[in-house]
Amino acid sequence: MLKTFSKGGVHPPENKFSADKPIEVLPLPKKVSIPISQHIGAPASIIVAKGDKVKVGQLIAKSSGFVSANIHSSVSGTVESITPVLDSSGYKRPAITIAVEGDEWEPTIDRSPNLKREISIDAQEIVKKIAEAGIVGLGGATFPSHVKLSVPDGKKAEVLIINGVECEPYLTSDHRLMLEKGHELMVGIQILMKALGVTKAMIGIENNKPDAIKYLTDISEEYQGVTVHALKVKYPQGGEKQLIKALINREVPSGALPIEVGAVVHNVGTAFAAYEAVQKNKPLIERVVTVTGKNLPKPSNFLVRIGTPVDELIEAAGGLPEDTAKVVNGGPMMGKAVSDISIPVTKGTSGIIVFPAKESKRKTEGLCIRCAKCVSACPMGLEPYLLIRMSQRMMFEEMEHEHVLDCMECGSCSFECPANLPLLDYIRLGKTEVNKIVRSRKN
């Protein structure tokens, strides 16, 4: 019997149109705009000026705190401007715009395709190198990876869990990475294991990727302590707490982090980035992005330099179909619609999905009849029908007592609601207000 989590979950159509499309290197753009806040935490501090010449891999904005991340140039050229640019949130935020000239890399970066298995540095140096490389969680959360690897005093990591689930419909970037960079991924996992001081790593992959499960299972025999586990296809299997429950049958307490139950979770993309940082001295300057949609001429997986305009990815995938009504950054369940397709690719851009008009319109709202389908669907055991009413009535302190901050914003409640209520929208609003209340208590 396949492993899975116990509470809630839904089964949206998979629509993995690009699953069999190998990763293509996207041609260099003429210009990139690199935001200085591509991660959870404090924005990086800019250390270049207009007119400066930069190389690929050069540090251009420095981490400004423990929970922050370095930003590196993804191209070579001249800094054209340092001004706010529109990002996926719809707001303008500070960014460094670089006019591309050639493709000159920092000489310290090893660009050879040779696999480097031997890990020659200790745990402390690994964490330092990962921090210097600006690596963040590439599953979409963008939490700085060195913070996760710095286990707090009094806590102990027992197992490293690698998230290869990719449970969001449409997205296939992690799937292709597992198939095409398996050995590099495995060395990356060993690097993360060494950093955490653990001897056990478990890779969780949903059963709709049998080729990745077989391939990684076969090569895992060469890497001590690494095992591969097939999981039941159920959204949101890739949530940290759901994955921990599925693989080691432990429940992370409300408001707590995975380290409370001895687990640390990293995405497969993050593990691959760790390999490149430690073994190749390469900072996080590019990532694999799925560009897909039902009517898109050529659904694809591209290796893209950070800062590349999204419209160039869509053009490379055959261009925007005439009936397009919405473009989503991320997956259809947790991603957000963008207001402008000229926004830049960031470290957290896992996919770009193009939706036709008939799939983009919200359905007419009905009345809630307390059917409890949203309760059954919630993987965190919350009561979405109650939380939406509280949010509408601005009962934010009551929402805190109902554990609204445990909501992972997976959208399962909205997906299941027969009345088409915008449950997640109101719960997100409530979470934002509750977070403000929590922060005000600390100040």
Query: Annotated binding site for [4Fe-4S] cluster, which residues?
Result: 368, 371, 374, 378, 407, 410, 413, 417
**Cis upstream peptide for 210 (omega within 30°):** no
The residues, any chain, with a CB within 8 Å of residue 287's CB and separated by 6 or more, are 138, 173, 269, 273, 303, 304, 306, 345, 347, 349, 350
Q: 């307390």: which residue's tokens? A: 370
What does DSSP say about strands 92-100 and 77-86: parallel, antiparallel, or unpaired?
antiparallel
CA distance 236 to 73: 34
Tell me the sheet residues that pair with 96: 34, 82
CA distance 24 to 373: 41
The CA distances from residue 178 to 148, 164, 313, in Å, are 22, 8, 22
Written as one letter, the residue type at 147 is V
The CA distances from residue 124 to 130, 150, 192, in Å, are 10, 9, 11
- Residue/partner pairs of 58-63 with CB below 8 Å, 24 or more apart: 58/106, 59/283, 60/34, 60/96, 61/34, 61/36, 61/96, 63/131, 63/134, 63/144
Binding-site members are: 368, 371, 374, 378, 407, 410, 413, 417
- Residue/partner pairs of 107-112 with CB below 8 Å, 24 or more apart: 108/57, 108/281, 109/56, 109/57, 109/280, 109/281, 109/282, 110/279, 110/280, 110/281, 110/282, 111/280, 111/282
CA distance 263 to 277: 23
Phi and psi for 193 in degrees, rounded to 5? -60, -45
